[in-house]
Amino acid sequence: MHRELVQISSELIKALDNAKHVVVFTGAGVSAESGVSTFRDALSGLWARFDPMQLATPEAFLADPELVWGWYEWRRQLLLKAQPNSAHQAIVKLAEQVPKLTVITQNVDDLHERAGSGEVLHLHGSIFKPRCFNCAKPYTLAEPPAMTHEQALPPPLCPDCQGMIRPGVVWFGEALPQAEMEAAFTAAENCDVLLSIGTSGVVQPAAQIPQLALRSGAWVAHINPEPVDCQHPRELSLVGAAGHILPLLLTD
């Protein structure tokens, strides 16, 4: 039988056992085993010819609101059908095993919350919190239209000012929410262990968080099927899927 051995250093286990504050920093990979395509997976259907970086911008939305709104509604509909996976559940269990755990996510889904994580710092907003592009008033979405196929959709209009409703996410070129960013950076500076789970570490300024924790004296473990190049004795790459690796880090 093929036994997949994941070398989890005894120092990391000791650091976790002694940790007073653990930070979990997640990217799209933590939702991959829920069937949610990661941000860099090829886009499908109508949007296949686009790079997500091109679509996830205010310029793209203003240029073609129906194309961009349709993409988000398609993603929202898929997310409503997705379930949290064993990685999300292991993070909830970890929170019961350490004195303090802070969850920071780049994801716009609500799978951490649906698994049972309490406060989640969303650095890139939420696909479930749309607002008016013009007056920023929050908008309550009805159930997504039954999109039988990937299609462009006209965004709803704001009941107050008739502006277009936009997804409640942070687009490229937009500032991250100040309060969440400050809380995330403070947590990274004050934690003993940071688990960086399922992120390609490309998007700034979120990508600075693991290095900030490292510089502040924490252990940093990257959990990813792709090995992550580590430059520091307290930085480790645990190669594998989050849903497989995270349960290994829990005490019984």
**CB-CB contact of 109 with 83 (8 Å):** no
Which segment (3-11, 93-101, 192-200, 213-221) binds ligand BV8 by CB under 6 A? 192-200
In whole angstroms, the minimum distance from the beta carbon of 237 to ligand BV8 comes to 11
Tell me if 70 contacts ligand BV8 by CB under 6 A. Answer: no
If one asks whether residue 131 binds ligand BV8 (CB under 6 A), the answer comes out as no
Out of 29, 84, 130, 155, point to the residue binding ligand BV8 (CB under 6 A).
29
Residue whose Cβ sits closest to ligand BV8? 29
> Does residue 27 belong to the site contacting ligand BV8 (CB under 6 A)?
yes
The contacts found for 32-36 with CB under 8 angstroms, 24 or more apart, are 32/198, 32/241, 32/242, 33/85, 33/86, 33/87, 33/241, 33/242, 33/243, 34/82, 34/83, 34/84, 34/85, 34/88, 34/111, 35/78, 35/82, 36/78, 36/79, 36/82, 36/109, 36/111
Q: Given the complex with ligand BV8, which of 161 and 202 has the nearer CB atom?
A: 202
Residue 31 binds to ligand BV8 (criterion: CB under 6 A): no
Residue 200 contacts ligand BV8 per CB under 6 A: yes
124 is annotated as an active-site residue = yes
Residue 186 in tokens: 């403070």
Do 97 and 250 meet the contact criterion of CB atoms below 8 Å apart?
yes
Q: How far apart are CA 188 and CA 25, in angstroms?
A: 9
Does residue number 56 form part of the binding site for ligand BV8 (CB under 6 A)? yes
> Would you please indicate which residues are annotated as catalytic (active-site) residues?
124
Binding site for ligand BV8 (CB under 6 A): 27-29, 32-33, 38-40, 56, 106-108, 124, 169-175, 198-200, 202-205, 223-226, 241-242
